[in-house]
Structure 1
């Protein structure tokens, strides 16, 4: 594309382009945009001429973006969202406005942070709803398209079209059940190192890719291996989350790493004994991810402030 072509470009063509990326079908894209299939095809032909690339090829599952289309996809999405935000000049008033948020977060986040978020929302925003759902494959694409407002978790990689706000840090601690014979006479780390271990996998650790094929959020699914306690320990069982691990630990002689806040609650109820790791690593950061185009005055900007305030209460 040369500068002359772009100066005379119809920016609506990029709305068609982004919708085709998401729908992978010209008919469905037209339905979303209020255009006929022929109008979508015409717009795509004009965009192909402007860019100098086919942009999409037909595949078994619908239209498949070319490498060039994938190169410009993130920029096109972000630019359209920024234009929408600028034109609408949306300012959210939680005291009177109605809004429903959808937040993807792990069970532990909902347990630790959810009550503090609910307390604040119910106190100042009577018409607001916040719906938590589990982390899932495809959440990056839902965040892109607005079907999801925020993802809260621990991430190894966050694409540049999103923002990441650190909310709180968490560390781990070893736990065994109350009455475990290995701690009856005091804490012996060498003896504990020989105990069978319960692993916590955290679920699928594959990168979350969008349907357009580019990398999405990549989250940390397990950080317990950083807490050394001997080498080559036997791990006869693993579970998908810390709450399942807590239940299994309370009825077995295994040892396990749990998030500190959960372990402290369980220890306070007489369920487990906490054992500090001999060489603890740095705490693990947890944060909120949103679209970079969500401004401070938008509903999502307000929700982020609520999450920050809630995290300060941990």
Structure 2
């Protein structure tokens, strides 16, 4: 292939398609019409001699050839972006868009101070906050769907950088007059209680639940909700309990609307502190706009956490 005649814009379209798997959404991210995205894909298909994407179950599913080249293309584009980046980044005049995946409790606490910072320091910068739902997070971070991932993540894979924003641990939460508080809280007494789980099934598989089970506490999950807001009234009106990070209960009662109607309890077991990390692709470490946004997030954490 003669790179002198190759339109590199086709690789940008391919990269966004790998992230979105949808022609319309890819066009929105690229500021292109749907026919323009389709035309670019057809040109790239002809050049590479492969269909690249095939419609399946409502999405554009990548072919084996597309999967083979996706990683190298993404890395090359990210490296090119960093190389050509203007290091004299001026946040007040910047028009960047950042896509950040937050753990649900962190997004609730940080959305307001972060919005205030952007209003005062970078009024034209756009921020899209997504839920950190535990599904293919590092893959989506690697393919550019997310710029930054924030939450109580586990081990960070090779190819990514991270900084620990804070350490936390879990506690239980129940209504203030729950019968649980009439006796000593033990592994056995907790095993008898119905649980309302917060977050995706993936989060439950990798969060506090495996630690509780290993300590001999049975988890009788009767309901699953996406965030703590949805659990508060259920906790007040039933004998269900849940498990949250201690900073939610100690520091953010006002944010979570009358959390004081509930009562926290210590877990009858030792537990390792949980790190809340900010994670990004290694190629974005020195990109000035990205670095600026990471600094704003870290400062917000120091202020409100």
Structure ID, larger Rg: 1
Assess, with a 3 A threshold, how the Cα gap between structure 1 residues 35 and 280 changes in structure 2: closer, same or farther. closer
1:61-210 map, 5 Å? 65-89=62-86, 91-135=88-132, 148-156=146-154, 160=158, 162-184=160-182, 187-189=184-186, 192-193=189-190, 195-205=192-202
For the structure 1 residues 158 and 71, does the alpha-carbon distance in structure 2 shift closer, same or farther, using more than 3 Å as the test? farther
Distance 2:237 2:249 in 1: 15
Measure, in 1, the Cα distance between the counterparts of 2:144 and 2:217. 46
Q: How many residues align?
A: 288
Q: 1:302 aligns with which of 286, 292, 304?
A: 292
Question: Which secondary structure state, in structure 1, belongs to the residue aligned with residue 260 of structure 2?
Answer: coil
| In 1, Cα distance between equivalents of 2:35 and 2:159 | 23
The alignment's TM-score, normalised by the length of structure 2, stands at 0.71
Using a 3 Å threshold, how does the CA distance of structure 1 residues 71 and 166 change in structure 2: closer, same or farther?
A: farther
Q: Distance in 2 between matches of 1:177 and 1:58?
A: 51
CA distance in 2, matches of 1:253, 1:116: 35
Quote the Cα distance in structure 2 between the aligned partners of 1:182 and 1:222: 26
Q: Please, what TM-score do these two structures have when normalized by structure 1? A: 0.69
Q: Distance in 2 between matches of 1:98 and 1:306?
A: 16
1:216 matched residue in structure 2: none
User: Over the residues paired in the alignment, what is the CA RMSD in angstroms?
Assistant: 4.2
Deviations 1:103-160 (A, max 9, x none): 2323311123334434444443344443433346787777566564333233346665
For 1:236, what is the secondary structure of its paired residue? Answer: strand
Q: 2:69 is paired with a residue of what secondary structure?
A: helix
Gaps of 5+ in 2: none
User: Does the C-alpha gap of structure 1 residues 294 and 176 become closer, same or farther in structure 2, counting only changes over 3 Å?
Assistant: same
Residue matched to 1:211? none
The answer for the alignment partner of 1:255 in structure 2 is 241
Q: Quick check: which one's helix share is greater?
A: 2
Structure 1 portions without partners, runs of 5+: 49-53, 206-218
